[in-house]
Amino acid sequence: MSSLWEVDGIFRDEGGYCGFCSGLVEECVFPPVFRFVSGPVEERERGRRRAEEGKKRITVKLLHVSDWHLGASLYNCSRAPDHEAVLQEMLDIARESRPDLILHTGDLFDLARPAYEDMRRAFWALQEFSAFAPVVVLCGNHDSPVLFQVFNQIMATRDGAGCEIRFLPRACAPSRGGILEFPGGEGELLRLAPVPFIHAGRHLVDFEDPATWTRVYADRVHAVEVAFRRGLEDGYDPSRHILLFAAHLFVSGALFSRSERPLHISQTYASSAENVPPVTYAAFGHIHRPQLIPASSPARYAGSPLQLDFGEIEEEKSVVLVEARPAHAAHVEILPLSQGRRLRRLEGSLEELGAQAGEVSHELCVVTVDTETATPDLAARVAALFPDAVLLQTVERCQERRLDPLSEADITSAEAEENLADLFRAYLGETGTSQANAQETAEKFAALLGAANADSPVSFPELAPFEETARAAAKGVI
């Protein structure tokens, strides 16, 4: 045997070949516990030849999509046209790439009780995808596990219909068929360990007993990941098996979009990247921003295919195409998506907005207009500037409805404390009024405050007619 030494926790020989997969250690996807080096020169030569032959083999392909949120709306504007466009774009990608497995990592719907039209759209898209490869859909935190069970019952009645779609409502132990297997084109076998969303308040029947129900969420998730790691290791064949992990989870440290449900991306629901099982690729859903996860295995959030909310306004959307071979590192390719209307915020005066009109086309816009005085026909004037855009909201930022905050020069004494009138003026300076003149509002508040402090009545001329009516009603005249 040749001499061995340890580099970064991996034992290597002078040729740098792994005796477990007979390939280059740098290309080996297995953790150090699986690796050992080949000794005699002839074994290293054999490993080198096998590595070269492996490169010529047809790879297995995985298409990773996530977080469609069918049925979503924004400012009461349906996103159905955008979903139709981007679903067709993803189908075109599947048609061109010809994957061996299509993996949807959760939040198929935006609501647990989706509308009939959204369910129709989901089944249409998934059946189209299943014409290219088997489809697996994890249940997300927006999805209903019970509804996914119903979907599975429906699909069971369609055996022989030429499509394979599996809805996974909850995690199932490896001993009870929790690891799914899909054959590749050249004798490879994809082994998938799926973890749908785990609710903090629900008992995991296959993984827990009453003594562990009250554990921290991250520890409960870790126990599931350990179980799947052992399940993937059981009977592992490096010459055939390609190991995959999929989950709808929040991994601590991930950059979120602020369009996800706040509770489900808090530390209450955080899991650790360190606990992701050693696999060829780990597919994650839940976070809408596409990104790499800093795990020991290649892992990514595919992200949502559309800008679902203004928290995603700067994000470029995509899907993930993974090419893999047994005992080799995966090739991960990010394929951009361009369909579906983008979101845009516009701010400025009417003149400034007019200068931007040529840059805005078929987009969903929120517009804030700066004006000196109230403009009754403002929404119509803005719509005329952007005839092709969908104006979700037009907000008027009127100067006369706001007050400039007090400066130091406005305070006559350095020791003077701000009174309620000053605080109210500062409030109007930040928020403004909905319709009334801000200066007049501040003056009336100061008058009311002064009258209250002096315990004296106060009268406003514009209220005189209402006061006369009130007095007459009190006397029974009206």
Asked whether residue 364 is assigned to any structural domain, the reply reads no
CB 141 within 8 A of CB 286: yes
Residues in the chain: 478
Predicted local distance difference test score (pLDDT) of residue 293:
95
pLDDT at 17 over 50: no
- Interior CA angle at 269 toward 265 and 270, to 5°? 85
Give me the percent of the chain exceeding a pLDDT of 90: 55
Count of C-beta atoms within a 10 Å radius of residue 219? 12
Q: Are residues 41 and 81 in the same domain?
A: no
Backbone phi, psi, residue 224, to 5°: -65, -45
Number of compact structural domains in the chain = 2
Q: Are residues 162 and 246 in the same domain?
A: yes
- The reported pTM is 0.75
- The pair of structure tokens assigned to 235 is 């009977």
Q: Are residues 150 and 44 in the same domain?
A: no
Q: Are residues 27 and 126 in the same domain?
A: no
| pLDDT tens digits, one per residue of 320-370 | 999 999 988 999 999 999 999 999 999 999 999 999 998 999 999 999 999
| pLDDT tens digits, one per residue of 374-412 | 888 999 999 999 999 999 999 999 887 776 665 666 555
Q: Are residues 123 and 243 in the same domain?
A: yes
Predicted local distance difference test score (pLDDT) of residue 5:
36
| pLDDT tens digits, one per residue of 98-153 | 999 999 999 999 999 999 999 999 999 999 999 999 999 999 999 999 999 999 99
CB 49 within 8 A of CB 350: no
Predicted local distance difference test score (pLDDT) of residue 156:
85
pLDDT at 253 over 60: yes
Q: Are residues 14 and 154 in the same domain?
A: no
| pLDDT tens digits, one per residue of 156-179 | 877 655 569 999 999 999 999 999
Asked whether residue 342 is assigned to any structural domain, the reply reads no
Asked whether residue 453 is assigned to any structural domain, the reply reads no
CA dist 35 and 6 (Å) reads 12
Confidence band for 14, pLDDT divided at 50, 70 and 90 = very low
Average pLDDT estimate for 86-104: 97
| pLDDT tens digits, one per residue of 426-452 | 787 777 777 677 787 878 888 888 878
Q: Are residues 147 and 19 in the same domain?
A: no
Q: Are residues 290 and 241 in the same domain?
A: yes
Asked whether residue 147 is assigned to any structural domain, the reply reads yes
Q: Are residues 160 and 195 in the same domain?
A: yes
Asked whether residue 475 is assigned to any structural domain, the reply reads no
Predicted local distance difference test score (pLDDT) of residue 35:
40
CATH code where residue 261 lies:
3.60.21.10
Asked whether residue 239 is assigned to any structural domain, the reply reads yes
Q: Are residues 134 and 26 in the same domain?
A: no
Asked whether residue 140 is assigned to any structural domain, the reply reads yes
Residue with tokens 């790439």, as numbered in its chain = 97
20: containing domain: 5-53
| pLDDT tens digits, one per residue of 32-71 | 434 434 445 555 555 555 555 555 456 899 999 999 999 9
Computed over every residue of the chain, the mean pLDDT equals 83
| Sheet containing 364-371, strands listed edge to edge, beginning at the edge strand earlier in sequence | 343-348, 364-371, 390-398
Predicted local distance difference test score (pLDDT) of residue 324:
94
Q: Which of 303, 336, 369 is the last residue of a domain?
A: 336
| pLDDT tens digits, one per residue of 218-242 | 888 999 999 999 999 999 999 999 9
Asked whether residue 432 is assigned to any structural domain, the reply reads no
Predicted local distance difference test score (pLDDT) of residue 44:
52
Q: Are residues 247 and 112 in the same domain?
A: yes
pLDDT at 79 over 70: yes
Average pLDDT estimate for 287-303: 94
Q: Are residues 34 and 114 in the same domain?
A: no
Q: Which of 321, 336, 351 is the last residue of a domain?
A: 336
